[in-house]
Amino acid sequence: MNNTCIICGKPKRSRFWLCKHCAVEYGAYNVPYKLWPKWVREFIRYARVIEARNKQFNDVCISFSQVTMEKIVNTDGEIVT
Ligand SMILES: [Zn+2]
């Protein structure tokens, strides 16, 4: 979760998906998550997918950067020299 509101893009507190203004405006302030408007929940679901993809991508980048020309890992996870 990043530090911008998923609806308006303005900075927000990091443990919330929405800034306070949007939460109040779109019926998600002090309301249980399952009662939030469906489109807001869809936004969050989509944001979670993007976040998971970014994490996967970063993990792949890290593992590629650890591989050098001398050390290639085979499909069994063994390092082939
Ligand atoms: Zn907002």
Q: What is the pLDDT of residues 9-28, one digit of tens each?
A: 999 888 888 999 999 999 99
| Residue 18 CA, ligand 1 centroid: distance in Å | 5
Ligand 1 centroid vs 30 CA: distance in angstroms?
Answer: 15
SS3 content of the chain, % helix, strand, coil (to 5): 45, 5, 45
pLDDT score recorded for residue 24: 95
Say if residue 33's pLDDT is above 60: yes
With a cut of 80, say whether residue 74 has pLDDT above it.
Answer: no
The more confidently predicted of residues 48 and 2 is: 48
Whole-model pTM: value is 0.63
Mean of the per-residue pLDDT values of the chain: 83
- CA 13-20-43 angle, to 5 degrees, is 85
Whether 73 contacts 67, CB under 8 Å: yes
